[in-house]
A and B are shown apart, each in its own frame.
Chain A
Amino acid sequence: MSQETLTKGDPEIEDSVIRVPLVLNNRKYNWVTEKICGIVEGGTPLWWWIAFIPSALLASVSMFTIGYLISTGVGVWGLNHPVGWAWDITNFVFWIGIGHAGTLISAILFLTRQKWRTSINRAAEAMTLFAVMCAGIFPAVHVGRVWMAWYLAPIPNSNAIWPNFRSPLLWDVFAVSTYFTVSVLFWYVGLIPDLATLRDRATNKFRKMAYGIAAMGWRGANRHWHNYEKAYLVLAGISTPLVLSVHTVVSMDFATSVIPGWHTTIFPPYFVAGAIFGGFAMVLTLMLPARALYGLHDVITPKHIDNMAKIILLTGTIVGYAYTMEFFIAWYSGNFFEQYAFFNRATGVYWWAYLAMMSCNVLSPQLFWFKACRHNVYVVFAVCMFVNAGMWFERFVIIVTSLHRDFLPSSWGYFSPTWVDIWTFLSTFGIFLSLFLLFVRFLPMIAISEVKGVLPESDPHSPLHHSETGHQDHGKEAH
């Protein structure tokens, strides 16, 4: 809206404040359709197989490691008596954090009318779903008696035993399952017009059937668009608080406990910021190669990358502030249990994890103060990889260093992972990547209809607007 208002005035001002278009090179509707649908409809590129086969193999390792875990006992992991949670919950929080970017991009940026979201939201949402799936594995299988995990569901059995509604773990169950459900709906609703496009373009019966069923009879009618926009808006409204609540609830797993290093009121905002931080890093980790491999430079422009880098810088700095503030509060509290917990975090046996966390999460994003860095995809990719690793270490530091030395020195211990820990974690990357590769292969990874809506061509007042292509696809404009 603001753009229109601005560009309506004096032509001079118009020239000076004109924004870089969201899709470059004056691409037209047809190009967008051809480009995005072409990825799905064309042949499978060789690199896809090269990426998919190892990913799928890695994913299948999880069958073995988790099968071993369930059949033999939690002891196959490296957990012990002071350290009752380690990689399991670290991985859970890591993946669930990654799952924040997609819905943030889809919902919050939608509600705030950030149009640049359109070219990345689809893939980011898919990434969210896959990350939440990976996250969900860990709390499900880390319990001692997986076959009894249904006790977590609020089904009073004959003894009328409800779950314990005071337990943050139960809140987790509700928060994560709600988040996943709403995210799936949101993602799927957004897919419907594009699925219809694919259906219409399908050249064989199988594809026509498959996409046809998935498109749920979408005809692009005005009424469809009307309902669609309403539904999308409502889902965005529902999703927005969920983005904040899920990681808040996850942080309460720790914040409501009494353990020094966990018992911290800063956790909810700090965890949410960290999740967005890690989520955006993962979005870029996936999008930068996809952009290069599929030549999507016109749709995912340097501006998109720049915006995301700025968000990473912001949230990374919030996280850095939280790290520092924890130390300050530990000192300020005068409680030497707290003081020890944080002192030990930085200088104890796990100093290397703390160092990895600090350097990856706080130092590496500082490069994004420089435009040159934000516009150099190699630097951006490298920083994102650091952030991905750093966010895993952050959770490891919080969980393991707090547990391994708490109140009674007599019970202090040490955690080392076993091969089962390591391979279970690695295999979730296999699951994640396999699902994502299947997604880019079979579904439009960029929201075709939404991108069309932000093309200069869609804006009659845009100086780049040329009317020769006509207005066949004006549904998006029907506010």
Chain B
Amino acid sequence: MKRVFQHPEGPVTGKKYWRSLEEYSDSAEFKQWLDREFPDNASEFTDGQSRRSFLKLMGASMALAGIGSLAGCRRPEAYVVPLVKTPEWMVPGRALLYASAMPRRRGAQPLIVTTFDGRPVKIEGNNLYPQSNGGSSTFAQASILDLYDPDRSKTLIVEGVAKSNSEIKTILESLRNQLVASQGKDVLVLLDEANSPTQARLVRELQKQFPQINIAVYEPMMLAEQLNNAPKAIPRFEKADVILSLDCDFLNFDEGGLQSIKSFTDKRRVKNPGDPMNRLYVVENRYTNTGAVADHRLRLAASQVINFAATLAQKLGVAVPAVNGKPVPLLDLAANSFLNRWLTGLAKDLQANSGKAMIVAGAHQPALVHQIVAAINASVTAAPQAAVASAFTGLNIVQAAELIRSGKISTLIIAGGNPVYNAPNDLDWTNLQKKVASIGKVYRLGFHNDESSEKGLANIQLPMSHFLETWGDTLSEDGTLLSIQPMILPLFGGISTTQLLGALAGFAITDGPELVSETFKQVAGGDITSAWKKFVHDGFYSGARIAAPVAAGNVATVTPVPVQIDTVPLSPQSLELVIMADYKVDDGRYSNNGWMQELPDPITKNTWGNAALISQKTANDLNLKSVLEKGIYQSDVILIKANGKSLEAPILIVPGHADNSISLSVGYGRVASDAHGLRIASNLGANAYALRSSTNPYITTGVTVEKTGKRFDLAITQEHGSMEGRALVREGTVEDFVAVPDFAKHQGMDAHIPENISIHKNPYFENGQHSSIRPPVHQWGMAIDLNTCIGCNTCTIACQSENNIPIVGKEQVQNGREMHWLRIDRYFSSKRDASKIPLGSNLDEVIELDDTEMIFQPMACVHCENAPCETVCPVNATVHSEEGLNVMAYNRCIGTRYCANNCPYKVRRFNFFDYNKRPLDSLYLGPLADRPREDIEMMKLRSNPNVTVRMRGVMEKCTYCVQRIETAKIDQKVKAAASDNIKVPDQTITTACQQACPADAIVFGDISDPNSRVSEWKASGRDYSVLSYLNTKPRTSYLARLRNPNLMKEGAGFIMPDIDDVGKMSGGVGHHGGDHSAAHGHAPEGEHAHPTTPAVQPAGHRTPVQGGGNH
């Protein structure tokens, strides 16, 4: 798509001038040189040494040397020429918003993209879309960085030689001619699951034109579904009061998606005492976001979930299908009273809530589990859920591999995927692809030059465009049609999968929406002019869904692939391995994204790599250690042997993990090579794909582990997992809330001290009233509902994107210098001594003592009215605004760091180096290592023009998105004109974190307006301030977390065995009132306390309130 400047032909008469001898000779090389814009190899990295050297440049916030000043980034061509008269919607400096969507394998996310002067700079959720709150995901937020990723595939590469992108058309034409000739007989097209109706239509078109063509779909993290060819189940959380999740992480952005998060959390917005709240049971092997939110959580090896499901079915009187004539073994309840009580309580709860109860099973659980769950849902719980068929289905990867192996394929077209990296290892895909490449041709359309585009594996590498660069359409989780529209022409001239399929089907490649609008015409019917406009404007089609939901219960009709019921008990000598998608890099597709690499994992807080997660007990059994030494986690490296393969990975001990179970996420362990320059992604972590076979894609048993004797330094942002009894995150049960509606205000130090009488009076805002001196119109404040926060990190990335926050690299994360303005604090708690977990590997022994709870707390500057940072700054660089903002004047800051020292919340971030100006691997070289000017220009393109990019030596922190506040105020003043109506209406301003939050857990607004949403939240009894005893008067307050335990009784006692522990983390009300001295007399544990040894949380001070009769 690059515009090639055509040098005008010289005059026919007169002398002929030439610019060089090459031109004079008119050689082919010269012509290519003219066309290429840059010399060969200018854009290829040749340094292949260390990972650190790959961090030289920071993700997409930098460009390759030689990209040239902005050559790649232009407005649409129609507007390249400076406008004499600008279109009326183009106001320089004003953002333009467009609706679009990001395709995801299980359903796309509707988005709004903010563009400035033709360049997209920020992605937000589409708040017009009814099912999503306007929330988005970490992946959507970070995908803007991918757009500007300098490592993207930029040019056509034919047999290892870079060619001009103008030849793409020719290549595709000849490919089509070949198809026409062969009728597609020996052609295999391997697609991603993009849920695109247009792609589906084009596939049908291809199949019509070339009946023998082979179409396969492969999504690494949907392998089980593809192998089982199952329709997707859409749980209706909005209708469920009791939910059991069997290893289903429906609160992440994959299995559940935005809709699940919204409908689940909507049922947890407890405003007043006594308001209903749903109850969540989770059975899982490792902590997930979902497990963290659970009211009752049972840690159980993933391979035993099937036994759990069968046992539950038996308890509920539901028949369980036999496997190979053998029944599924049941859990031995007689030997384990804890488990027996847990299951009994659960079963009774499900029965009691028939019609409002639901069981969901994880996508990576065997089909039999889904079958059992469907059976229970159909008969007992009457689960409100529906299923949606896939947009289209094709061959799965195993069938595709079989085709290649049989030698029937001579042309392989890989559109988007990276099977060399992520195909199941038993398929030996690398050799299959090599075989096709040697006898025929492999075409690879890829976003990066990566493993699948290596020379010898792919003959032709086509650059792929970003979803912000081309037209497209996709389906949301529930089958709503979403539009994808380009914000900018392809920066590096790539094409999309849709365009590729279109070209194969004989349509011309254009920049326009023809292919998509044709599909839309078929969907909407009739004259689509206005419907199309609305579709593109709103980003979704509100008419009929594309794939009609299958009736509830139909999930059970799927014929499952038979599973092996493993009867070998788990032990330290025979463990299970659970392979999962990563919270940060997903299946590896975001592994070259600096923001995602530096994002702390929600559970482990690990950055820049993965680790084998195990429980403390398993670590003890295997004599493995992960020690915190000098602020850095040094973990033993183990050799994991599974499916006949082995892999080295560092361990990480996580509380609440099932014993004899290892969890390892995919997406890491990518190795740099000469052919590809994945500078961020390379050489981080361990490649879990190496252990993955198509027969055991997710859960493998019989895994053994060897200690290698090596140590590995992890970069973990939160070293300490215990709250040390400090009542920072407060929680209680639903019953506590009824008994003591303001329970949250009386925990920790707040239970001890009389109300602070402060000599400080805020002259502008005191006691919720405007003062008389010069009343400012607004008083900003924020409330965060810990009951709906799922710890997903989207706010962190949204903040990073909005506020131009740099990444610092692994080394600096280890040094404790990460820059996130908004972090999610994660604490574990355990009532019982973790060291007392009995030895032995049997299921019944394992569960007994593990009742670790986890809780999240988003933490950013709380904008104290009485801010400790402000008094200590010697140069007045951080001061208070009349509207209650604690503002930073970067220009005034000289960097004494006193404010950060004095901040009790530790939310201030100091620029220890010039992260923007220097390559990340050369920070210590200072001025000797300058980033090329072009790189910095590229970074500028990505940056939000309304936020200063900070230099080294200055302090920065959350501003409540002051740029958004000011924009809204200016708009309101324009609107108000001569009138006095300059008050910005409530909810006009959303901070970046609030906007992005898929759970709607953050609200921002004017606290001087009693009717504002934030005032309403703050009026709740659950509202409290962190460290309020310091009298800092924070403007950000938190709504305490609630847990909703099952209080059913059997005789005198509660059925649920863990009832005493639920919701008692920070000293809940009514459970330990008499235990005051024990609670506070304890000096907290000394050093070496880390997440592996959660401390006992002391109780609060208040006298017992027998809320709900728990005792």
**A residues at B contact (CB < 8 Å):** 68, 71-76, 78-85, 142-146, 148-149, 151-152, 161-164, 166-170, 173, 253, 256-259, 334-337, 339-340, 343-344, 347-349, 403, 406-416
Instruction: Tell me which residues from 900 to 957 in chain B have a Cβ below 8 Å from any Cβ of chain A.
Output: 900-902, 904-906, 909-914, 923-927, 951-955
Cross-interface CB contact of A343 among B912, B913, B1083, cutoff 8 Å: B1083
Residues of B within 8 A of A409 (CB): 720-724, 726, 728, 827
- Do the beta carbons of A257 and B905 come within 8 Å of each other? no
Chain A residues near B749 (CB, 8 Å)?
Answer: 335-337
The answer to whether the Cβ of B269 comes within 8 Å of any Cβ in the partner chain is no
Is A143 a contact of B827 with CB atoms below 8 Å? no
The reply to whether A144 and B726 form a contact with Cβ atoms under 8 Å apart is no
The answer to whether residues A163 and B876 also contact, given A80-B817, A144-B910, A169-B898 and a CB cut-off of 8 A, is yes
Question: 14 interchain pairs (CB within 8 A)?
Answer: A75-B923, A82-B816, A84-B901, A145-B951, A152-B875, A163-B875, A256-B872, A258-B902, A337-B726, A347-B1087, A407-B726, A407-B905, A410-B823, A415-B631
Contact present for A143 and B894 (CB under 8 Å): yes
Q: Which residue of A lies closest to B909 (CB)?
A: A81
Contact status A408-B874, CB under 8 Å: no
Q: Decide: B871 and A144 in contact? CB cutoff 8 A.
A: no
Given A75-B812, A145-B893, A408-B906, A168 and B925 contact (CB-CB distance below 8 Å): no
Known: A80-B815, A81-B817, A144-B893. Is A71-B906 also a contact (CB below 8 A)?
no
Inter-chain contacts of A81 with B (CB < 8 A)? 816-818, 900, 906, 909-910
6 additional contacts, CB 8 Å, given A412-B720, A413-B719?
A73-B923, A79-B897, A145-B954, A163-B874, A411-B825, A413-B631
Q: For A148, what are the chain B residues with a Cβ–Cβ distance below 8 Å?
A: 894
Contact A72 B924 (CB under 8 A): yes
Given contacts A84-B900, A164-B876, contact A413 B816 (CB under 8 A): yes
Q: Are B902 and A407 in contact (CB under 8 A)?
A: no
* Contact among B631, B725, B859, B910 with A416 in the assembled complex (CB-CB below 8 Å): B631
Q: How far is the CA of A125 from the CA of B912 in the complex (A)?
A: 37
List chain A residues, Cβ under 8 A from B970.
none
Interface code B818-829, partner A: CB below 8 Å = 1, 0 otherwise?
Answer: 100001011100
Q: Chain A contacts of B630 at CB under 8 A?
A: 414, 416
Identify the closest chain A residue to B1086 (Cβ).
Answer: A347
For B723, the chain A residues whose CB sits under 8 A away are 409
CB <8 Å contact, B892 and A161: yes
B873 touches A167 (CB 8 A): yes
B816 touches A80 (CB 8 A): yes
Top 9 A-B pairs, shortest CB-CB distance: A144-B895, A144-B953, A72-B926, A414-B631, A75-B912, A80-B816, A84-B897, A411-B906, A410-B825
Complex formed: what's the CA distance from A80 to B631 in Å?
A: 11
Contact A258-B912, Cβ < 8 Å, known A71-B926, A144-B954, A161-B892: no
Cβ-defined contact, B904 with A258, below 8 A: yes
CB contact between B752 and one of A334, A411, A415 (< 8 Å): that residue: A334
- Between B723, B909, B1087, the greatest number of chain A beta carbons within 10 A of the residue's beta carbon is seen for B1087
Given A79-B897, A143-B896: A256 and B871 interface contact (C-beta under 8 Å): yes
Verify A144–B952 contact, CB threshold 8 A: yes
Enumerate chain A residues within 8 angstroms of B923, measured Cβ to Cβ: 72-73, 75
* Residues of the A chain whose Cβ atoms lie less than 8 Å from the Cβ of B351: none
Residue in B closest to A410 when the chains form the complex, CB atoms: B825
Question: Nearest chain-B residue to A76 (Cβ)?
Answer: B924
Do B868 and A257 have beta carbons less than 8 Å apart? yes
Residues of B within 8 A of A170 (CB): 874
Closest residue of chain B to A420 (Cβ to Cβ) is B924
Among residues 1043 to 1087 in chain B, which have CB atoms less than 8 Å away from a CB atom of chain A? Answer: 1080, 1083-1084, 1086-1087
Distance to closest chain A CB from B496 (angstroms): 42
Contact B953 A145 (CB under 8 A): yes
Count of A-B residue pairs with CB < 8 Å: 206
Contact present for B927 and A71 (CB under 8 Å): yes
- A406:B904 contact, CB within 8 angstroms: yes
Decide if B1087 touches A407 in the complex (CB within 8 Å).
no
Q: Separation in Å of the B59 CB from the closest CB of chain A? A: 20
Residue of A nearest to B952 (CB): A73
In chain B, what residue has the closest Cβ to A150?
Answer: B894
B895 touches A143 (CB 8 A): yes
A410–B826 contact, CB under 8 A? Answer: yes
Distance of B815 from chain A, by nearest CB (Å)? 5
- CB-nearest residue of chain A relative to B955? A144
Question: For A416, what are the chain B residues with a Cβ–Cβ distance below 8 Å?
Answer: 630-631
- Taking the closest CB of chain B, its distance from the CB of A85, in whole angstroms, is 6
> Which A-chain residue is minimally distant from B818 (CB atoms)?
A81
- In whole angstroms, how far apart are the Cα atoms of A442 and B874 in the complex? 39
A71 and B927 alpha carbons, distance in the complex (Å): 7
Q: Does B968 contact A (CB under 8 A)?
A: no
B718 in the interface, Cβ–Cβ < 8 Å?
yes
Contacts A75-B913, A144-B953, A414-B630 known; A257 to B927 CB distance under 8 Å? Answer: no
Interface readout for B756-769 with A: 1 if CB under 8 Å, 0 if not? 00000000000000
A74, A161, A349: which contacts B895 (Cβ < 8 A)? A74
Quick check: is B128 within 8 A (CB to CB) of the other chain?
Answer: no
- CB–CB B900/A164 < 8 A: no
Q: Which residues of B contact A151 (CB under 8 A)?
A: 875, 892, 894
* A164→B925 contact, CB < 8 A: no
Task: Tell me the bound Cα distance from A164 to B878 in angstroms.
Answer: 10
Task: Give per-residue flags for B613-638: 1 if the beta carbon is below 8 A from chain A beta carbons, else 0.
Answer: 00000000000000000111000000
CB nearest to B605 among chain A residues: A410
* A-contact bits for B720-761, CB 8 A (1 contact / 0 none): 111111101000000000000000000001001000000000
Q: Kindly state whether residue B1027 has any CB partner on chain A within 8 Å.
A: yes
Q: In the complex, what residue of chain A is closest to B632 when comparing beta carbons?
A: A414
Q: Is the CB of B902 within 8 A of A144?
A: no
Known: A144-B952, A409-B720. A168 touches B872 (CB 8 A): yes
**Residues in chain A near residue B91, CB distance under 8 A:** none
> Which of A76, A166, A169, A408 is B896 in contact with, Cβ under 8 Å?
A169
A424 to chain B minimum Cβ distance, whole angstroms, is 15
Interface contact B817-A85, CB-CB below 8 Å: no
B563 within 8 A of A: no
Considering the complex, give the chain B residue whose CB is closest to the CB of A77. Answer: B912
Closest beta carbon of chain A to B915's beta carbon, Å: 9
CA distance A26 to B857 in the complex (A): 78
Q: Which of B954, B955, B1083 has the most CB of A within 10 A?
A: B1083
Answer yes or no: B1030 CB below 8 A from chain A CBs. yes
Complex alpha-carbon distance, A47 and B440, angstroms: 85
Would you give the shortest CB distance from B728 to chain A, in whole angstroms? Answer: 6
Residue in contact with A410 in the complex, picked from B859, B895, B912, B1027, CB distance below 8 Å: B859
**Which of A73, A169, A253, A413 has the most chain B CB within a 10 Å cutoff?**
A73
A84–B875 alpha-carbon span in the complex (Å): 17
CB nearest neighbor in B for A139: B896
Across-interface contacts of A334 in B (CB, < 8 A): 752, 1080
Give the residues in chain A near B1086, CB-CB below 8 Å. 343-344, 347-348
**Given A75-B817, A413-B631: A408 in contact with B897 (beta carbons within 8 A):** no
Q: Which of B488-534 contact A (CB under 8 A)?
A: none
Chain A nearest CB: distance from B534 CB in Å? Answer: 46
- Would A336 and B1080 count as touching, CB distance under 8 A? yes
Question: For A344, what are the chain B residues with a Cβ–Cβ distance below 8 Å?
Answer: 1086
Give the docked Cα–Cα distance between A84 and B817 (Å).
10
Closest to A167 in B: B874
Give chain A nearest CB distance to B214 CB in angstroms: 52
Distance in angstroms between the alpha carbons of A389 and B549 in the assembled complex = 76
Give the residue name and chain of the B residue nearest to A68 (CB): B926
Q: When the two chains form their complex, are residues B904 and A408 in contact, meaning their CB atoms are under 8 A apart?
A: yes
Tell me the complex Cα distance, A83–B823, Å. 18
CA of A403 to CA of B911, assembled, Å: 18
Could you tell me the distance between the alpha carbons of A399 and B911 in the complex, rounded to whole angstroms? 21
In the complex, the answer to whether A85 meets B897 with C-beta atoms within 8 Å is yes
Known: A81-B816, A258-B868, A410-B859. A173 touches B906 (CB 8 A): no
B857: chain A residues within 8 A (beta carbon):
410
A335 to B876, CA, bound (A): 31
Provide the bound-state CA to CA distance between A349 and B632, in Å: 13
* Residue from the set A169, A173, A403, A408 with the largest chain B CB neighbour count within 10 Å: A408
